Amino acid sequence: MQIGEEGRYYLFYCLHRSLTVSVAVCDEPAGEYQFYGHIRYVDGILYGQKQGDVFNFDPGVLKDDDGRIYLYTGLSYLKDAPMRKYLAGMFQIDGSYCVELDKDMLTLKSDPVLAVPGEVLSEGTDFEGYRFLRQAACGILMGGII
């Protein structure tokens, strides 16, 4: 979630099996959100719909001290995962990627940049051996921390 320039609250999410990032907006953080739109390229094509786009998953947004807005999204499959073989070449599935958003909170201002590499791209880097970025979550799943 992020607060826009006008003080409204923007919630970024991916629906199950959707390749796009959706955005909802509300005047208060715990209010009733309304659909606002999808993250898109300047030409209107939805981010996640072009071949080679990032496979969007678990979006997070950062508003930097200078007011610039960044969207982080992506996923990574293990090297030998069947899903990796299936999606290879269709989407970027090798980690978490970052793009800059326009002030409208919907339009991309930059191309995706790899922020945190997944298992395959982490080989030979400081990330090797750490499969992916873990974020704080509320809960426990099957005896382990989510």
Q: Phi and psi of 13, rounded to 5°?
A: -155, 160
Cβ 92 vs Cβ 52: under 8 Å:
yes
Buried b (16+ CB within 10 A) or exposed e, 87-116: eeeebbbbbbbbbbbeeebbbbeeebeeeb
Three-state secondary-structure class, residue 141: strand
* Cα end-to-end span (Å), the chain: 20
Give the whole-angstrom CA distance, residue 101 versus residue 112: 11
Residues recorded for the chain: 146
- According to the model, what pLDDT value does residue 129 have? 75
Cβ 130 vs Cβ 122: under 8 Å:
yes
- According to the model, what pLDDT value does residue 60 have? 93
> How confident is residue 10, by pLDDT bands cut at 50, 70 and 90?
very high
What is the tens place of the pLDDT at every residue in 69-124? Answer: 999 998 887 888 888 888 877 888 888 899 999 999 999 999 999 988 888 888 88
3-state secondary structure 65-131: CCCCEEEEEEEECCCCCHHHHHHCCCCECEEEEEEEECCCCCEECCCCEEEEECCCCCCCCCCCCCC
Give the whole-angstrom CA distance, residue 10 versus residue 37: 11
What is the tens place of the pLDDT at every residue in 36-76? Answer: 999 999 999 999 999 888 889 899 999 999 999 999 998 88
- According to the model, what pLDDT value does residue 131 have? 60
How much is the pTM?
0.82
pLDDT at residue 21 greater than cutoff 90: yes
Give the whole-angstrom CA distance, residue 57 versus residue 120: 18
